[in-house]
Amino acid sequence: MPFPFTPGLTEPRLVDLSDPSGDLIIDGDRGDLEAALAAGDVDALSRIGGSFAAVAQEGVTIRLARTIGRPLRYFVAKRSSGPYLVVADRIDAIARYCVEHGIGWQFHPSYTRLVPAHFVTELDQIGCPDPNPRYRRFFTPAIGRGTPDHAGLGEAYLAALEETVGRIFDRLPPAAPIGVALSGGADSTAVAWSVLAAARSRGAAGRVRFYTLSIGEAADRSSAEAVARALGVAPRWTAVEAPLDDVSLPDAVRVIEDYRPLDVQCAAAMLALARNLRRAEPGLVYLFDGDGGDENWKSYPLEDSEITIRSVLNNPLLYHEGWGVDSIKHSLTYSGGFSRGVVRGYAPARAFGFIPVSPLAMRGPIAAALAAPLSDLVGQDVDRLLALKGSVIRAGLGGRGVDLPIAEKRRFQHGAIADPGPRLGASRSELRAIHERRFAAPAGDDHDPARNDPERAALPA
């Protein structure tokens, strides 16, 4: 049954500040995406590949959707005539809009909502109180139905990655230079191989260059150089050197608008890479990376979290989406898992004009990984789980006759920075304080309704 319009509100208000230039849509285009979303057609959305974020409206209903690689937020604002929705990629964009339109007193960063990845989020604008959003999934991968053989899993995973990379490659401008962030680990090495294979098959290998952040004599530098030599692209590999002073946790908090320490540390290193790579390559836009591979294969230590091996095995999308939109642990403000954490790489890259391309975070490779029957493969053994990703990727490459050196697993910030000293040592509470201070009321602002917005007095209590 459709909801009535709010009295006095002739149409739903929607302010869309999102930036579609970061989309990488395959198997469709922006028009297909917007039409499917406006109709609430989850089947049509499921057939549109790549990475995207979008918003559409139908009557009083506003629908939002995003894949895991593209952030999208919303904020319910109020006027005396009724509610309206402000949508943007970033929290600070919403905050600026509210201040500029005299409703800054309504805003707090925790009032914004991150659209959960892989769902259509539906909101009905009917006035106060607003109903809860409804969620409908448009990505429903088969879980655990693949072979328990590492070689078979590696073949399927590499095939999904190569198909995704090839389709992305064909959507990029024909003469555009292409960069690959290479650490020498399993994920970036698999992506580097796939990008190079796609380029070579199209006679465009000369467009591809490889970059490794090096702050001091960091471990990634030698690992990535070894991979570049094995791939035969050493002349097109560059160590992007940066000073330790370029690593700033406060800057990272400002850019990613989040405060989880490991994500902030990663973002700080990514900012150093993006800043110095932009200086060296002013014309480079598309930058491939291996972000998402750890989430696909649950390749994180468990001892530093509340997560158990049972949690991992019983919640296949836990690392991608958190505990799920129907869980008491689900945070509306930030969503969960990589759905939240993707900003660690996305936002720093966008801040310096890059379009980050994370094919392992797209649905084809995610689905190929989720087909792995984890219980059969690892049982309850955490060490076997942590070793699984490297074994599968080596097997997939080996099936192609490719033998590449793959470095031991380490986080980006640890492999890229030789000696961070105290620079990566801030606590979650310290980082959260930095984040919240950005949005504190200006000095002297007593939040007087007449000063900010005379309509405030007309709002419902």
What are the residues whose beta carbons fall under 8 Å from the beta carbon of 104, sequence distance 6 or more? 95, 98, 441, 452
pLDDT in tens, 125-140: 877 667 789 999 999 9
Contacts of 152 (CB under 8 A, 6+ apart): 146
- On the question of pLDDT at 15 being above 70, the answer is yes
pLDDT in tens, 199-251: 999 999 999 999 999 999 999 999 999 999 999 999 999 999 999 999 999 99
Question: What is the C-alpha to C-alpha distance for residues 125 and 103, in angstroms, rounded to an integer?
Answer: 18
Sequence ranges of the domains in the chain: 13-139, 150-436
What pLDDT sits at residue 277?
Answer: 98
Mean pLDDT of the 267-276 span = 98
9 vs 297, more confident: 297
| Mean pLDDT of the residues in the chain | 90
| Average confidence (pLDDT) over 452-461 | 36
Burial class (CB in 10 A: 0-12, 13-18, 19+), 152: middle
At 321-357, the pLDDT tens digits run 999 898 888 888 899 999 999 999 999 999 999 999 9
Residue 287, both tokens: 């930058």
Name the residue with tokens 């607003």. 130
| Res. 429: pLDDT tops 80 | yes
Residue-level pLDDT at 268:
97
List, as own/partner pairs, every contact residues 167-171 make where C-beta atoms lie below 8 angstroms and the sequence separation is at least 24, other chains included: 167/26, 167/27, 167/49, 167/50, 168/24, 168/26, 168/50, 168/357, 168/359, 169/195, 169/198, 169/199, 169/202, 169/204, 170/202, 171/24, 171/25, 171/26, 171/50
Closest residue by Cα to residue 240 from 209, 285, 205? 209
**What is the pLDDT at residue 4?**
39
Query: Is the distance from CB of 289 to CB of 431 less than 8 angstroms?
Result: no
Q: Which CATH class is domain 150-436?
A: alpha beta
H-only helix segments in 72-218? 91-100, 150-171, 186-201
- What span, in angstroms and rounded, lies between the C-alpha atoms of 377 and 300? 16
Average pLDDT on 112-124 reads: 95
pLDDT for 37 equals 97
Lowest mean pLDDT among 29-38, 324-333, 447-456: 447-456
**Long-range contacts of range 194-202, CB-CB < 8 Å, 24 or more positions apart?**
194/158, 194/161, 194/162, 194/165, 194/359, 195/165, 195/169, 195/288, 196/231, 196/233, 197/162, 197/165, 198/162, 198/165, 198/166, 198/169, 199/169, 201/166, 202/169, 202/170
What pLDDT band is residue 153 in, cutting at 50, 70 and 90?
Answer: very high
Reported as a pLDDT band with limits 50, 70 and 90, residue 11 is low
Q: What are the residues whose beta carbons fall under 8 Å from the beta carbon of 199, sequence distance 6 or more?
A: 169, 178, 205, 207, 208
Give the predicted TM-score (pTM) of the model. 0.92
**Distance, CA of 192 to CA of 289 (rounded, Å):** 8
Radius of gyration of the chain (CA): 23
CA distances from 251 to 335, 351, 421 (A): 22, 11, 17
Q: What local confidence, expressed as pLDDT, does residue 458 receive?
A: 35
Q: What pLDDT, in 10s, does the model give residues 369-412?
A: 999 999 999 999 999 999 999 999 999 999 999 999 999 989 99
Question: What are the tens digits of pLDDT across the range 156-182?
Answer: 999 999 999 999 999 999 999 999 999
Instruction: For residue range 75-101, list pLDDT tens digits in order.
Output: 998 877 778 899 999 999 999 999 999
Average pLDDT over residues 442-452: 39
> For position 421, what pLDDT does the model report?
87
Q: Is the pLDDT of residue 448 over 70?
A: no
Cα–Cα distance list, 78 to 104, 391, 451 (Å): 11, 53, 16
Other Cβ atoms less than 10 A from the Cβ of 430: the count is: 14
Sign of the C-alpha dihedral computed for residues 246, 249, 251 and 257 taken in this order? positive
How far is 178 from 357, CA to CA, in rounded Å? 10
**What distance in Å separates the CA atoms of residue 13 and residue 9, rounded to the nearest whole number?**
9
pLDDT confidence of residue 441: 58
**Is pLDDT of 446 > 60?**
no
